[in-house]
């Protein structure tokens, strides 16, 4: 009787766990330079200044069968800002802007994922909400995200890739420096590959 009960419990546990989705853990590919956080801001209402952050890392968990359970944590070294103009980059690192000496890191930690359908190419889309900490201020933001795909790479690893867009206001994050009219809004473009942990 005891053996039958134990066998039944084992069978039930096996069936239960077989139906569960296990998200895989990934490390963003910083070493291979397959991760980018780019930005643009209006200049004099005539054009845009664009730039990027050259130093970032992070992790995420993801399973295509249950993407709404995904999580991401990204850290950016603010001093790595680059706009292809040395004096401007130095200015933007100062106290009234990024204040990199006091706040050397910016961080985004997801708090939820809401699926929004598929884009014109059939790629899965979602709104990823999360907390962005920048210049010592933490605010919730939404990243409009697209799952680009996953699969084996040529080096024996397994990868998953994403892209996303978001907009923030500099003043929301304590940025007191004055730029040209219309420069309050910063548009962000993010894309990265992650390598699945073995």
Q: How far apart are CA 26 and CA 198, in angstroms?
A: 9
Looking at residue 11, its pLDDT comes to 46
Residues 6+ apart with CB under 8 A from 19: none
Looking at residue 133, its pLDDT comes to 98
Looking at residue 54, its pLDDT comes to 97
163-170 — which CB contacts under 8 Å span 24+ positions? 163/189, 163/190, 163/191, 164/128, 164/189, 164/190, 164/191, 165/189, 165/190, 166/141, 166/142, 166/190, 168/132, 168/134, 168/139, 168/141, 170/97
Residue 89 tokens, joined: 């980059």
User: Is the CB of residue 158 less than 8 Å from the CB of residue 196?
Assistant: yes
Q: Is the dihedral of CA 53, 57, 58, 63 positive or negative?
A: positive
Residues 6+ apart with CB under 8 A from 123: 146, 147, 148, 149
* pLDDT tens column, 111-148: 999 999 999 999 999 999 999 999 999 999 999 999 99
Q: How far apart are CA 192 and CA 38, in angstroms?
A: 11
Looking at residue 131, its pLDDT comes to 98
Looking at residue 140, its pLDDT comes to 98
> Cα 167 to chain center, whole Å?
13
pTM exceeds 0.95, yes or no: no
Looking at residue 163, its pLDDT comes to 98
Looking at residue 183, its pLDDT comes to 82
User: Is the CB of residue 149 less than 8 Å from the CB of residue 118?
Assistant: no
Looking at residue 73, its pLDDT comes to 98
**Which stretches of the chain drop beneath a pLDDT of 70?**
1-21, 180-181
Looking at residue 176, its pLDDT comes to 75
Residues 6+ apart with CB under 8 A from 55: 76, 77, 79, 80
Looking at residue 86, its pLDDT comes to 97
Residue 118 tokens, joined: 């598929």
Name which of 86, 64, 62, 90 is nearest 78 in CA terms.
90
């Amino acid at each position: 009787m005891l053996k039958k009960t134990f066998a039944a419990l084992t069978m039930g546990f096996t069936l239960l766990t077989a139906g569960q989705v296990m998200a895989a853990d990934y490390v963003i590919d910083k070493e291979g330079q397959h991760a980018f956080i780019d930005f643009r801001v209006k200049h004099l209402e005539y054009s845009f200044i664009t730039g990027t952050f050259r130093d970032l890392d992070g992790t995420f968990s993801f399973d295509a069968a249950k993407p709404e359970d995904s999580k991401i944590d990204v850290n950016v070294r603010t001093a790595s800002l680059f706009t292809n103009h040395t004096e401007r980059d130095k200015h933007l690192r100062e106290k009234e802007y990024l204040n990199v000496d006091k706040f050397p890191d910016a961080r985004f930690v997801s708090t939820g994922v809401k699926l929004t359908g598929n884009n014109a190419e059939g790629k899965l889309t979602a709104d990823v909400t999360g907390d962005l900490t920048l210049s010592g201020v933490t605010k919730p933001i939404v990243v409009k995200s697209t799952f680009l795909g996953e699969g084996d790479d040529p080096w024996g690893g397994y990868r998953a890739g994403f892209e996303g867009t978001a907009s923030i206001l500099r003043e929301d994050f304590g940025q007191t420096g004055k730029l040209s009219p219309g420069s309050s809004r910063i548009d962000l473009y993010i894309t990265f590959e992650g390598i699945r942990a073995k």
